[in-house]
Amino acid sequence: MIAIIPDLILLADVSSGILLAIALRTALAVDLHWNPDRSTPRQLMLEKDVEWLSPVMGVAEVIYGISTILWIVSIAMLFPRDVPGAMCGTGVMQAMAPYGGIALMCRSGTVVLLYAWHALDRIRREHLGLTGTREAVRVIPVIVPLAALGAYYAFRASRLLIDPDAVSCCAALMDEQTGGLSGWIASALTLPAVVPIVVFLTGSALAGMAWIVIRRGSVVRCGWRWGLAIMGIPWSLYAGRWAVGRIMPYCFGVLHHDCVWCLFLPVHHAPGFAFLLLLLASIAELTVILMISGLFAGSRPALEASDGRIRQAALRFLLLSVLYAAICLGYPLLYRLRFGVFITG
């Protein structure tokens, strides 16, 4: 059963790739020849093609998203059985190096961009009509190459699992990384007296920006959206990784074991999937703000029409951040209630 998973992912990637190629052809034609003020045969044909663009991209988004979820679940739970020495996804990623990590980043980025494009296209269909079509399709030539890279590197990585070499378990790999310059840098970046303050202050600033975006008038007059989107994405990545690192002792029951992939194991109740979902959802909502603000920057009617969606994205980011923090705080508090002490002192 496990052996056919790479073939299923390949089949899904080929199917979504065909749909994305059709969408790319339409997007390039629209960007080059779109002119809603003229009723030429070419323009009428483009308007007909644009009507099919939304369902085509929607189906591609679903197929590519499902195959990406299957890819992550397989790395975390299924592929370790076929890799000698692997105890979790860390060993699998080691066996698939360097293609596995690249595939994971490309596929995650593609899912986020597809979600953001769907939000952008919905604004176009519901409020702008033909006016915002050219701006909306300009995202597709960015999505398609990234999706192709994710599919290609996933295929290359899966080929390495046909007859994999023995790898080190995550515990041995973590021990190897604790010494030397890299270990010193890692410890310096996680100084307990500095990082919590920086994370808290930056998070407070982003929460304030999100509140301003939610409460203020028209987004046309609100420049805070740029700071929220540009600062929020890298902050979400770093703060998410740092926060997960703080709850690992309470998940694993040991003081030091910084293996993210172990959070996806069923024996630890697989909290990694919840953390990953919240992290990607936060970045996706910030990408919606960035994409709408950038593509519609020169059109006041388009920005006014998308004002509600930007406020919604800011509110969702705020709620997701609060939920993420609640989960991270919940693990230590539950441990304290159960055993009477904090494992980290």
Nearest-angstrom CA–CA distance, 95 and 329: 34
- Asked whether 99 and 272 are in contact (CB, 8 A), the reply is no
What is the per-residue pLDDT across 69-110, written as a single tens digit (0 to 9) for each? 999 999 998 888 888 888 888 888 888 888 998 999 999 999
Flag whether pLDDT at 253 surpasses 60.
yes
pLDDT on residue 183: 43
pLDDT on residue 294: 78
Q: Which of 139-143, 184-188, 233-237 has the highest mean pLDDT?
A: 139-143
5 HSE (CA, 13 A, CB side): 22
pLDDT on residue 155: 93
Q: Which has the higher per-residue pLDDT, 201 or 134?
A: 134
Residue 180 in tokens: 């030397």
pLDDT on residue 61: 94
Nearest to 317 by CA among 199, 241, 200, 213: 213
Flag whether pLDDT at 178 surpasses 50.
no
Q: Structural domain boundaries of the chain?
A: 1-169, 177-345
Give the mean pLDDT of the chain.
Answer: 81
- Mean pLDDT in residue range 255-276: 84
Q: Which has the higher per-residue pLDDT, 336 or 25?
A: 25
% of the chain with per-residue pLDDT over 70: 86
Residue 180 binned pLDDT confidence (cut-offs 50, 70, 90): very low
Flag whether pLDDT at 187 surpasses 50.
no
Least confident of 166-175, 235-244, 280-289: 166-175
- Asked whether 336 and 342 are in contact (CB, 8 A), the reply is yes
Nearest-angstrom CA–CA distance, 18 and 6: 18
Nearest to 143 by CA among 33, 231, 56: 56
- Quick check: bond before 80 cis, omega within 30? no
pLDDT on residue 4: 87
271-295 and 307-339 helices, crossing angle to 10°: 160
Nearest-angstrom CA–CA distance, 123 and 136: 9
Residue 182 binned pLDDT confidence (cut-offs 50, 70, 90): very low
Q: Tell me the DSSP string of 41-83.
A: HHHHHHHHHHHHHHHHHHHHHHHHHHHHHHHHHIIIIIGGGGS
- Mean pLDDT in residue range 149-175: 81
CA 53 to chain centre: 23
% of the chain with per-residue pLDDT over 90: 24
What is the per-residue pLDDT across 289-345, written as a single tens digit (0 to 9) for each? 888 887 776 667 777 777 888 888 888 988 988 888 888 888 888 888 888 877 765
Residue 56 binned pLDDT confidence (cut-offs 50, 70, 90): very high
SS3 238: helix
Q: Amino acid letter at 34?
A: W
pLDDT on residue 232: 82
Residue 161 in tokens: 């699992």
Residue 45 in tokens: 């044909």
Residue 165: DSSP 8-state: P
- Mean pLDDT in residue range 128-153: 87
Least confident of 142-146, 175-179, 257-261, 277-281: 175-179
Nearest to 5 by CA among 111, 157, 115: 157
Flag whether pLDDT at 179 surpasses 70.
no
pLDDT on residue 263: 87
Flag whether pLDDT at 123 surpasses 70.
yes
